[in-house]
Structure 1
Amino acid sequence: MPDGTESESRKLLKRLREVMASSDAGQTRLDKITHLIADSMGSEVCSIYLFRDADTLELCATEGLKAEAVHHTRMRLGEGLVGRVAKTGVVVNTADAPSERGFRYMPETGEERYSSFLGIPVQRLGESLGVLVVQSREARQFSADEVYALEVVAMVLAEMAELGAFVGEGAALSPPHQRTELIRGVSAQEGAAEGHAWLHEPRVVVTNPIADDPQRETERLHTAVEELRVGVDKMLQLSSTEDTEQLQVLETYRMFANSRGWMRRMEEDISRGLSAEAAVEKEQSLARKRMAQAQDAYLRERLSDLDDLSNRLLRILTGQGQNTGADLPADPILVARNIGPGDLLEYGRNLRGIVLEEGSVGSHAAIVARALAIPLVVRAKRITAEALNGDHIMVDGDQGLVHLRPDDTIVAAFRDKIAMRAEAQERYASIRDKPAVTQDGQTIALVMNAGLMADLPSLDSSGAEGVGLFRTELQFLIHNKMPKRSELVALYERVLDAADGKRVVFRTLDIGSDKVLPYMKPTDEPNPALGWRAIRVGLDKPGVMRMQLQALLRAAAGRPLSLMFPFVAQFEEYREARAEVDKMVERERKLGHVLPERIEVGAMLETPSLAFAPQKFFDEVGFLSIGGNDLKQFFFAADRENERVRRRYDTLNVSFLSLIERIVERCDRSGTPLSFCGEDAGRPVEALCLAAIGIRTLSMRPASIGPVKSLLHRVDLGELRKRIIDARHRGDQSVRPAVLEYLRSLP
């Protein structure tokens, strides 16, 4: 490259901007770009490879290689030096390409004459879009200045691709944000929804990656950084001094916002021809790359803080974000990388559906989505990059699928599915007030799960006979500080008032594992699902448990009170927790408060160990609720957050049903009321089998009560039990085939 790298890179970027501003077709633009890069670099070859699909790169333009190879030469991700750059995101700079590890000769391109090879990843914020390559006959390594200049150019190419500058000929050049996309994720809440995308944190699009006036861009950067610093200082002033975790994050923000190194690097990027926004994004991309490679958890967190700070700075510079004046559509489907329960509750029932790029089936967002009965798909890769505000979107929460900008065929089929659901709901409404009585006269109590006041109207609309599980942790999760006892009393009073005499079972605070309080110092545990959680936290730190028990006792105010402790693994844990209840009852009596009319104290059976507890436990416990989700994952040693194994094991597996039967028998022997709570209670086929082996109370989400009741009305549980026993005697692994055969025989 000629002397004066800085001026040459600026010249190259200016010429690139001219190409961006032209009205040429996409292929013509690419051809011009490869020509001017080769000319500016003093190299014989410049080529641009873009992804045709997730695993295939296609030669889309070249200066110096054979023209007929364009759109014909393709390679797999990781194949050859180009594929290696695309896969690793690491620059390859060599004077002797054929001797490099992984080199592959492509005879149709005519590249055998060129020794030197410089491959630069074309990527935007860690998302790989392709590879920019320059080659020359002279056997030499390209200088650090030349590599830097090409990295800047590659970033601008990525921005141009994001803006649709290369739309035109060639399959790899189809318009971004216009294609029909099918995105596969994981179902976290069933249901189907159609609407328009609303991004919780809209992706910042840099429309001006190249700038003419470096002095003006530097001033813009300084002004924006100063605004950012003031904002961080204000957050620090408003932050509670008791919230040490939040203070540490904000102090890190302030450290980065005042980092001279960060500012110097962005100023240097601007001096080479980038706009202020592009300079911020370039440094953000480097931080994301380091974050992906960091092994140390603390370093990853700090780099994540820098990533968030960069987003804030970009929004200041571009004016893009939530406060852009755009209105929430009438039928919003929320799209986000992730979202906390507090933010989700602010949207409330306005949402038709939710799609998250991250998240899990047990996350806070999933808990709230289930409480609000909103279809939710998590782990939908690249959804925040693919979706734009206002895009037509359809969410299939049953299959974990997202249809973005769907074509007419998909729209018609999806709307048929929604119509069939609506028709079924009308049918279920007709049996809402009827008891769930089977053909052989067995009555099954169907109750609902809840966790928010917004759930309680479903008691009447769903036909639920009560609340089998009220999750009390949501009130702790959605705030930035511990709720006061008086606030809990008021909430629990409203819950009991809304239930209007129907039984409500309050589950005491179930935190830990994936439910970490915002104001609670997280514990670094290798396996949190088996760690310090639920009753274990309550017994080790009894202050919160006692406060919650007092709130429940006061809220009952003379009415019956039912409460249960989560994740009890052994008899002694229940005894200790029950003793705390007795202490709080005695304390409330001495204080002169009105005590509940009667108190039922139960436990959730979520570990196999409790199924084998001494018989005295079953005699003493007030009632038991089988927590099917946790019991199943521990029984099969299959993490329910792990997609590779969570669907591998069937609830209707003979071994698992045998464990449930053992629990039923032990409860029958002691006269202990027993219910089953969890996702399987709301799945009609599973619910039938649970009823057939002796479960007489099922607790589920309100929307499942109609389908379960409808099927219960049609079956003979005695006959179904015979089919289950026969399948077991045959040595079947699962009774599901036998049960489905029986159901198909029904009139």
Structure 2
Amino acid sequence: MPQGTETESRKLLSRLQAVMADASAGQERLDRITRLIADSMGTEVCSIYLLRDADTLELCATQGLAPEAVHVTRMRIGEGLVGRVARAAQPINTANAPAERGFRYMPETGEERYSSFLGVPIQRLGERLGVLVVQSKDAREYSDDEVYALEVVAMVLAEMTELGAFIGEGAALAERHKSQAMFRGACAQEGTAMGHVWLHEPRVVVTRPVADDPDAELARLRAAVDQLRLDIDDMLTRAPLADGEQREVLEAYRMFAHSRGWMRRMEEDIARGLSAEAAVEKEQSTARARMETVADAYLRDRLHDLDDLSNRLLRRLTGQGKDTGAELPADPVLVARNIGPAELLDYGRRLRGVVLEEGSVGSHAAIVARALAIPLVIHARPILTEALNGDAILVDGDQGIVHLRPEENVAAAFRDKLAMQAEAQERYASIRDKPAEALCGTVISLQMNAGLMADLPSLPSSGAEGVGLFRTELQFLTRNKVPRRGELAALYSRVMDAAGEKRVVFRTLDIGSDKVLPYMKPTEEPNPALGWRAIRVGLDKPGVMRMQLQALIRAANGRPLSVMFPFVAQLEEYTQARDHLLREMDREAALGHVLPETLQIGAMLETPSLAFAPRRFFEECDFISIGGNDLKQFFFAADRENERVRRRYDTLNVSFLTFLEQIVHRCGDTDTPLSFCGEDAGRPVEALCFAAIGLRTLSMRPASIGPVKSLIRRVDLREARAVINEARASGAQSVRPAVMEWLKRQG
């Protein structure tokens, strides 16, 4: 780079530093910045456009355009050249702006006199904040060094925005991290929570984007990178050889940490006047912008690795982030981009709620959140750019809505909702030990779902009659290597001890699809939900299945044992899995081990095909459990991970309810005990309809048992059945409206 350009760039950044240190109001700062950029770069025009909302850019300061256009001229993202820069997050550099595709003439600005145009995005770690523009009358393209210099300045402007440098009378921006904000996400676990934000990885704020001594900054950067490399080498030394995926991530970290290109670009940024941490963040922003446009999953993962590495380096340079001495609040609501199951378990039941920018309904984190009965909202973007540790936060897991720093009227309404829920819980507690007996005398058995030892204390307090589903995969998902047989046997034994005389149904390992073990090599499949998962994995890799079955038999130690195989699609799969279990029983007997007092073997009916299996299947099963979550998505061909379609189809749709009724009849013909397990079992109206069509056992999360029991005890199931039949005969698509109207009449 020519020395003169470098000097001008550093001179400009130095002058910006003086503006940052000034205590003038926000609009005055913006005006001074446009003047000094235009003067330093020798252009007639410099303008700053900032986002007024998520879709609208506003001219907030200018040198050279008509001053009366400030805070008047607005455009949508993608509109005009400025809007194109904001949408693509890429510079536009042209000698003939009016001839460019998408050019929009703004008559109030007087810009028709200027031919050349250079616009660069103002962004911070992928968050769009605005556009910085310079224009000249001369028809010329700006040099690469001029483009680079303006990008560096835009990055500093983004940091100044983060630090609140443009707040004040007349300025475009509201004060950051102060006003209320609402985020609409998706519900991954129902429930409501009120508390204070705890950031899993607190955002690093660069308070000193510009530095006077490049040599000192280079020394700081190199020392931090050297230490980072040593840390990664140390982690690689300590990482278990068997833990291939973790080693792969660390190897990627090491590759990036030793990347000459990455280091060279940061050194060049420092030479132009940035501080070491600002140089790191500039490269991180570039990686974040690329992540948004890369379709290839592998490349996206690698860019994510670089993003994580940059965070580590920033924390080292600034002393911010993890291990800063901040204390977990008494009512923490965890906010994160994403989180693994083991990390979430580390927090445990201390958390009031969890809010993620990413995640999925079937993710490991969602599985653990459901097991811990913690409200979870996913896809709540961009909450990480707004939330700070200690901020007041309200989580409505039922609606998938999060309120950050809520106004008092919103908080008051939320407190009323929580109070009503607490009152309802008192009412449910009063019927805890009473049966779920309808007015017609029909008794419904209400069971609870579990997956962790921490769930078992809820068994007596919830009023559940047993554990209708114990998910055994959580013990595999939260470890970095396959658990040993003895460890599993000890765990399963403690589960039975905690349940006492109550029955526990153990579902064998249900992995694959969205539940990939950390130590299991992921397989690329076009549609994982319909792919190699659950019983299919167990039958193809019988070693793990055998080990788990042995652990269950030994854990029973003479007590009754119930084992259920997941995702069975045809009779042969069930008989093969059943034969595996019976062989292990024979083997354990030959070894002299105590066998279970009784053994019940069942299957989860999660695929429509199994409903049409030969009669022999229903005869050989000791019990069957309808896996409602999967069965519903396959019945309607609507992926429950897809927010566009997963709420499109109603559980009380006539066709689905009729299908369930057919399963009830088939099990009734062979006297095979049948239950319904899934989220819908815990929704009172759905549970009522299931009971009305003949299901006599429902399994749900512990918190749902009270509401379901309360409703069932107040209705006559024969009347509910008549309402359903009448709605079906009328040609209605769903019985829900008729059932809801009937319930209203019942009071």
> How does the TM-score come out when normalised to structure 1?
0.99
Shift of 1:264: 1.3
Give, as a single letter, the amino acid of the residue that structure 2 aligns with 1:122.
I
After superposition, residues 647-662 of structure 1 pair within 5 angstroms as: 647-662=647-662
Could you tell me how far 1:263 is from its partner in structure 2?
A: 1.1
Superposed, 1:406-555 pairs within 5 Å as 406-555=406-555
1:91 equivalent to 2:96? Answer no
Aligned to 1:165: 165
Q: How does 1:321-470 map to 2 (within 5 A)?
A: 321-470=321-470
Aligned match of 2:175: 175
The Cα of 1:169 is off from its aligned counterpart by: 3.3
**One-letter amino acid of the structure 2 residue matched with residue 539 of structure 1:** L
Is there any run of 5+ residues in structure 1 with no aligned partner, and where? none
CA deviation profile, 1:350-376 (whole Å, cap 9, x unmatched): 111110010011111111111111111
Counterpart AA for 1:83: G
SS of match in other structure, 2:746: coil
- Give the whole-Å Cα distance in 2 for the aligned partners of 1:83 and 1:70: 16
Change in Cα spacing, 1:3 to 1:582, as seen in structure 2 (3 Å) is closer
Aligned to 1:165, the other structure's residue is in SS state coil
Any idea what the Cα deviations from partners look like across 1:544-586, whole Å, max 9, x if unmatched?
Answer: 0000000000000000000100000000000000000011000
CA distance in 2, matches of 1:169, 1:650: 51
Contact 1:60 1:170 in 2 (8 A): no
1:189–1:370 CA contact under 8 A, matched in 2? yes
Question: What pairs with 1:545-624 in structure 2 (closer than 5 Å)?
Answer: 545-624=545-624
Query: Is the Cα contact below 8 Å between 1:189 and 1:366 reproduced in 2?
Result: yes
Q: Secondary structure at the residue paired with 2:638? A: coil
Matches within 5 A, 1:640-719: 640-719=640-719
The DSSP-based 3-state class of the residue aligned with 1:53 is: coil
8 Å contact from structure 2 (residues 56, 77) kept in 1: yes
1:193-272 matches, cutoff 5 A: 193-272=193-272
Equivalent in the alignment of 2:723: 723
Q: Which residue of 2 aligns with 1:121?
A: 121
1:746 corresponds to:
746
Asked if structure 1 preserves the Cα contact closer than 8 Å seen for 2:60 and 2:171, the reply is no
Contact 1:444 1:698 in 2 (8 A): yes
How far apart, in 2, do the equivalents of 1:375 and 1:292 lie? 28
Following superposition of structure 1 onto structure 2, how do residues 626-645 of structure 1 map, counting pairs within 5 Å? 626-645=626-645
CA distance in 1, matches of 2:485, 2:444: 36
Q: Secondary structure at the match of 1:173?
A: coil
Offset at residue 172 of structure 1 (A): 3.2
Residue by residue over 1:669-722, the C-alpha shift from the partner in whole angstroms, topping out at 9 and shown as x without a partner, is: 000000000000000000000000000000000000000000001111011101
SS of the equivalent of 2:108 reads helix
Contact kept, 8 Å, 1:562 with 1:601, in 2: the verdict is yes
Question: Which amino acid in 2 is paired with 1:745?
Answer: R
**What is the distance in 2 between the residues matched to 1:733 and 1:148?**
60
SS at match of 1:48: strand
Code of the aligned partner of 1:367: I
1:453 counterpart letter in structure 2: M
Match of 1:30 in 2: 30
8 Å contact 1:232–1:253 — kept in the other structure? yes
User: Once the 2 structures are TM-superposed, how far is the Cα of residue 228 of structure 1 from its aligned partner?
Assistant: 0.2
- Separation (CA, whole Å) in 2 of partners of 1:295 and 1:706: 46
Q: Deviations over 1:243-273 (max 9, x none)?
A: 2222222122111111222111111110000
Residues 91-110 of structure 1: matches in 2 within 5 Å?
A: 91-110=91-110
Looking at structure 1, the residues matched to 170 and 647 of structure 2 have their Cα atoms a distance apart, in angstroms, of 40
- Give CA-to-partner distance per residue, 1:215-237, whole Å, 9 cap, x none: 00000001100110010001110
Q: Is the 8 A contact 2:26 2:171 kept in 1?
A: no
8 Å CA contact 2:27–2:171 kept in 1: the answer is no
1:10 partner SS: helix
Compute the displacement of 1:2 (Å): 10
Residues 2 and 8 in structure 1, CA contact (< 8 A), matched pair in contact too: no
Shift of 1:741: 1.0
- Quote the Cα distance in structure 2 between the aligned partners of 1:256 and 1:234: 16
> 2:608 and 2:295 mapped to 1: Cα distance?
35
Structure 1 distance, partners of 2:678, 2:577, is: 23
Aligned length: 747
- For residues 490-515 of structure 1, what are the alpha-carbon distances to aligned partners after superposition, in whole Å with 9 as ceiling and x for unaligned? 10000000001100000000000110
Q: CA deviation at 1:526?
A: 1.1
SS at 2:402 equivalent = strand
Q: 2-side partners of 1:603 and 1:299: how far apart?
A: 40
Per-residue CA shift, 1:515-554, capped at 9, x if unaligned? 0000000011111000000000000000000000000000
Structure 2, unpaired ranges of 5+: none
**273-282 vs 296-305, which deviates more?**
296-305
Aligned to 1:71: 71
CA shift for structure 1 position 171: 6.8
Contact 1:189–1:377, Cα closer than 8 Å, also in 2 = yes
Return the offset for 1:3: 7.1
Runs of 4+ aligned residues of structure 1 deviating over 3 Å after TM superposition are 169-172
In structure 2, distance between residues paired with 1:525 and 1:615: 33
Contact kept? 2:122, 2:157, Cα under 8 Å: yes
State the percentage of identical aligned residues. 75
Task: Please give the alpha-carbon distance, in whole angstroms, between the structure 1 residues aligned to 2:332 and 2:238.
Answer: 32
Q: 2 CA distance for matches of 1:252 and 1:575?
A: 44
Q: Amino acid of the residue matched to residue 369 of structure 2?
A: A
Question: 1:475: Cα distance to partner?
Answer: 0.3
Deviation at 1:170, TM superposition (A): 4.3
More divergent stretch after superposition (352-361 vs 291-300): 291-300
* Cα offsets for 1:11-40 (capped at 9, x unmatched): 000110111111011000000000000000
Paired with 1:450 and 1:172, the residues of 2 have a C-alpha distance of: 51
| Deviation digits for residues 172-210 of structure 1 (CA, Å, limit 9, x no counterpart) | 310111111001111111111111100001111111110
Separation (CA, whole Å) in 2 of partners of 1:292 and 1:719:
54
Matched residue type, 2:214 = P
Q: Name the structure 1 match of 2:289.
A: 289
Which digits, 9 at most, give the CA deviation of each residue in 1:714-745, with x for residues without a partner?
11101110111111111000000110111011
TM-score scaled by length of structure 2: 0.99
Pair 1:192-2:192 in alignment: yes
2: CA distance, partners of 1:258 / 1:347: 34
Task: Write the distance in 2 (CA, Å) between the matches of 1:208 and 1:294.
Answer: 31
The 3-state SS of whatever aligns with 1:708 is helix
Separation in 2, partners of 1:3, 1:248? 42
Aligned match of 1:81: 81
C-alpha separation between the residues in 1 aligned to 2:196 and 2:418? 16
Q: Aligned partners of 2:367, 2:66: CA distance in 1, in Å?
A: 57
Q: What is the aligned-residue RMSD (CA, Å)? A: 1.1
Give the Å deviation of 1:289: 2.4
Other-structure match for 2:10 = 10
Aligned partners of 1:52 and 1:171 also within 8 Å: no
Distance 1:3 1:137, change over 3 A: farther
SS of the residue aligned with 2:597? coil
Matches within 5 A, 1:298-317: 298-317=298-317
The 8 Å contact of residues 26 and 170 in structure 2, kept in 1 or not, is answered as no
Report the alpha carbon displacement of residue 284 of structure 1 after superposing the two structures with TM.
Answer: 1.3
Name the CA distance, whole Å, in 1 between partners of 2:208 and 2:243.
Answer: 40
SS where residue 413 of structure 2 aligns? helix
